[in-house]
Every structure is written in structure tokens, then in C-alpha cells.
């Protein structure tokens, strides 16, 4: 059971100031001048109060790749960034394509306690794209999987994609597609364009993403099922999603923090921290995805947190692994790229980083408004400060952040997961102990 907390002076969604009493893991009171005998008082004067953030696209690496990350270290990283729930991608070893593996991940998340861990199941056996995985068994398992993805592999066969969309429709699931035509991106090392030509690196053309999205929204329309597009990165992709939504197709899309801020120009230094899939794009694409997020075409921000050991990044560009860590920096990057630019406000941040991802993933108990009776998943964020992002800001096992040495605004001061403090006065709580509560069910 969590302790009773009185949070004073917090700015709810960056607006009016209020006190919040948290008791037995739920929001018990909201008002002014509140107090509770024996409670701990947290001075949140000037801090932005947000519902706990939810990441629909996290790589926790366990089981199988614990040298990069574990569920414990990954959820500590999540807590430090204000996240109270993360959806774990299936590219583990063994692949999360059975009920047994997703239930193992669920149990490890419960034992850690820093954030609710909701497994994502693979669409196909071994993520090989050849035959459907045990979608129904994972859906009815204790993990209650509702999101399925082959993650770094595109479900390229249109017949298998259609069957997957048809299958998950029966239980309200969603297929999250990594939109990448593998034939058009063979040997690709960065975005295809002027910079790739100058550097002599094989290009990853925008059409490789856009053509798969175009195909899949039409398949989703034909089947009448839900499609989610992972890490959308090009202006053309935004246009396709906008068209599909106007047509009434049930499609949602995500953008990563790095695609909201960074461009292909960073590749000129051959620093493999900037190697990612899909690649960093042009400035024009960054502008387009920002506008798409602001106008609701893009539904959510998802980190695509992808930890790697240093040896997988500290090598020549062509041999380096794709991916960046992003849980600790996501809110700060969204603050810089979207809030400080005036494109969205804090209520919108709550929508795209908490409410909408929880809704897409069918994860109840998270993404809920800061209201009496709701579970106390809360992030308290100091938007008034700024500083250089360093390795001291990282709490996972890997340090492959593209933001090291960069000035970023803000800092998460407190994170509450089900009323339990996981970040206390800017520091990740060292140990929480085991817990049997998920902090939400479907």
C-alpha cells in the first residue's frame, strides 16, 4: 500500500494551481488548502502536473538481451522520464510470440514495480513474416495482449497482413506496423537524398515507408480493422494518414521525439548515436511531422527506446546498430520541439503522451484525467529549468542517446506509479520492492 501524499500547488496540465491528495493509490481529493494528518507533503509549486506518461513503443530487451536492458532497468529509465506504463516490443529472445513469453514479461514488470509493463505480441512466428503467431492465445493470456507488431520487421506479405488485421478485429486488437519495404531499403544506411549522396551512404527512400502505409490503410479499410503506424517519419506519410482519416479509416500513427527534433544533417559526423530506423529525415519532414502532431493527424508520441551496448555503437557507421534510447529525454524533447514552439500546450502533451497511447493500447487505468477516484499515475514536471543532457540523466543499461551534450528544457521532479513514488525530488527511487498490482487492466 502506498503512503498518503499531499501534493501542494501543482499546475494541473500547466493551468490552474491545485492541491492533490493521494491515498491508497488513488486521487482522493483535489482542491486548495488541502491537508491530511500524517501525510507526506510534496511542494509542487510551479510544477506541471500531468497524468503518468504511456509509451506505446519501448524495447526492454528482456528476455535474451539483458546486456542492453532489463525490464527493471528499462522501467527505471521510464520512471525518470515521467512514464508510468510502457508497451514492450516483442524482439526478445525468445521472441514474444507465445502466451508464455508475454506472461513472463508481465510478471517481471510487476516484480520491478516502476511502471506497468504491457507486452506487445509478435504478429508472426519469430517475426519472420511467414505465418501468424499465437495471437488469440496471447490475447486471452494473463497479459491480455491487444497490440501486435513484428517491430523492426515489416509485415511485408499483404495476405498475412490482411489475415492479421482480420484476426485481431474479433477482440479489439490492433496491428502496429513497421512501415518499411525491405526491397527498397536493402543496405540502406541513412535517409536517401542529397546528404546520402554527398556522404556515399546507401539511401533509405521515403517511398519505402509511404508505400507500405498506403497499402495497409487500404487493407484496414477493406477488413474494417484497426491499424497503427509505428514511428512515422516523412511528410508524405503524414499526407497519407491525413487522407485515410478523412476517409474514415480506423488508423492511428505515432512519431518519435527524435523525428520531431533531429535531422539527417547530424549524420555528417558519422556518429552512430544518430543511426536509427527509420532514419533521421530532412528538415521539411521534421516540420511536417510537427504539424501533423499538432493538428491531430499523428495521434501520439512514442519513444522507440532502443538500448544497445556501447560496442554496438562505438564502431564504424555501416556496422553500427540502429536505435536510440529515449525514455528519459522524451518529455523534454517534446517540450522543446512542440511546447516551446507554441504548436501545442500541456493539455495536448497529456493527450499525445498519455491518454491516446493508453486508448490505442486498450490499457485502462492509465492515461486517465487527473480527477478524484482515478489511479494516481502522475508526473510532476519542472518546465522552468533547463540544462545539458548527460549520462547522469540516463538510468538504463545503455547510453546511446542522441541528446548527450545537448541543452534540453525541463526536468521530471516526481513520478507516481499507482500512488508509489518512483521518482522523488528528481531522483529515481533506489528500490521499490515487489508488487502484485499492475495499475490497470483491460
Residues with catalytic annotation? 304
Q: What are the b/e assignments for 179-199, b being 16+ CB within 10 Å?
A: bbbeebbeebbbbbbebbeeb
Cis peptide before 278 (omega within 30 of 0): yes
Query: What whole-number distance in Å separates Cα of residue 310 and Cα of residue 315?
Result: 9
3-state secondary structure the chain: CCCCEEEEEEEECCCCEEEEEEECCEEEEEECCCCCCCCEEEECCCCEEEECEEEEEECCCCCCCCCCCCHHHHHHHHHHCCEEEEEECCCCCCCCCCHHHHHHHHHHHHHHCCCEEEECECCEHHHCCCCECCHHHHHHCCCCCCEECCCCCCCCCHHHHHHHHHHHHCCCCEEEECCCCCCCCCCCCEECCHHHHHHCCCEECHHHHHHHHHHHHHHHHHHCCCEEECCCCCHHHHHHHHHHHHHCCCEEEEECHHHHHCCHHHHHHCCHHHCCCCCCCCHHHHHHHHHHHHCCCCCEECCCECCCCHHHCCCCHHHCCCCECCCCCHHHHHHHHHHCCCCCCHHHHHHHHHHHHHHHCCCCCCCCCCCCCCECCEEEEEEEEEEECCHHHCCCCCCCCCCCCCEEEEEEEEEEECCEEEEECCEECCCCCCCCCCCCCC
CB contact set of 4 (below 8 Å; sequence gap of 6+): 21, 22, 23, 36, 38, 39, 40
Provide φ and ψ at 24, rounded to 5°. 55, 35
Amino acid at each position: 500500500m502506498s503512503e498518503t501524499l499531499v501534493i501542494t500547488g501543482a499546475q494541473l496540465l500547466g493551468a490552474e494551481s491545485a492541491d492533490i491528495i493521494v491515498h491508497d493509490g488513488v486521487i482522493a481529493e483535489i482542491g486548495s488548502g488541502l491537508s491530511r494528518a500524517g501525510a507526506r507533503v510534496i511542494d509542487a509549486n510551479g510544477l506541471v502536473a500531468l497524468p503518468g506518461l504511456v509509451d506505446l513503443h519501448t524495447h526492454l530487451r528482456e528476455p535474451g538481451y539483458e546486456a542492453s536492458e532489463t525490464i527493471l532497468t528499462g522501467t527505471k529509465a521510464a520512471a525518470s522520464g515521467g512514464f508510468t506504463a510502457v508497451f514492450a516490443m516483442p524482439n526478445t529472445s525468445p521472441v514474444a510470440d507465445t502466451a508464455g513469453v508475454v506472461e513472463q514479461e508481465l510478471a517481471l514488470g510487476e516484480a520491478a514495480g516502476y511502471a506497468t509493463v504491457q507486452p506487445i505480441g509478435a504478429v508472426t512466428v519469430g517475426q519472420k513474416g511467414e505465418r501468424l503467431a499465437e495471437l488469440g492465445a496471447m490475447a486471452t493470456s494473463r497479459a491480455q495482449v491487444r497490440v501486435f507488431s513484428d517491430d523492426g520487421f515489416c509485415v511485408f506479405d499483404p495476405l498475412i497482413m490482411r489475415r492479421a488485421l482480420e484476426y485481431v478485429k474479433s477482440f479489439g486488437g490492433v496491428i502496429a506496423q513497421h512501415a518499411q519495404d525491405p526491397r527498397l531499403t536493402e543496405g540502406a544506411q541513412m535517409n536517401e537524398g542529397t546528404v546520402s549522396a554527398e556522404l556515399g551512404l546507401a539511401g533509405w527512400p521515403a517511398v519505402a515507408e509511404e508505400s507500405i502505409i498506403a497499402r495497409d490503410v487500404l487493407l484496414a479499410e477493406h477488413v474494417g480493422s484497426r491499424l497503427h503506424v509505428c514511428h512515422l517519419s516523412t511528410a508524405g506519410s503524414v499526407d497519407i494518414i491525413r487522407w485515410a482519416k478523412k476517409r474514415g479509416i480506423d488508423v492511428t500513427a505515432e512519431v518519435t521525439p527524435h523525428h520531431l527534433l533531429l535531422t539527417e544533417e547530424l549524420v555528417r559526423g558519422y556518429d552512430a548515436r544518430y543511426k536509427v530506423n527509420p532514419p533521421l529525415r530532412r528538415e521539411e519532414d521534421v516540420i511536417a511531422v510537427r504539424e501533423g502532431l499538432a493538428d491531430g493527424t499523428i495521434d501520439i508520441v512514442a519513444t522507440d527506446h532502443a538500448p544497445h551496448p556501447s560496442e554496438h555503437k562505438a564502431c564504424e557507421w555501416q556496422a553500427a546498430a540502429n536505435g536510440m534510447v529515449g525514455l528519459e529525454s522524451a518529455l523534454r524533447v517534446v517540450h522543446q520541439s512542440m511546447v516551446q514552439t507554441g504548436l501545442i500546450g500541456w493539455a495536448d502533451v497529456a493527450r499525445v503522451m498519455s491518454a491516446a497511447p493508453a486508448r490505442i493500447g486498450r490499457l485502462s487505468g492509465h492515461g486517465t484525467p487527473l480527477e478524484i477516484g482515478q489511479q494516481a499515475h502522475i508526473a510532476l514536471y519542472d518546465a522552468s529549468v533547463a540544462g545539458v543532457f548527460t549520462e547522469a540523466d540516463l538510468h538504463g543499461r545503455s547510453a546511446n542517446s542522441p541528446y548527450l551534450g545537448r541543452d534540453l528544457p525541463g526536468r521530471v521532479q516526481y513520478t507516481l506509479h499507482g500512488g508509489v513514488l518512483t521518482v522523488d525530488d528528481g531522483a529515481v527511487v533506489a528500490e521499490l520492492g515487489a508488487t502484485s498490482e499492475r495499475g490497470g487492466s483491460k
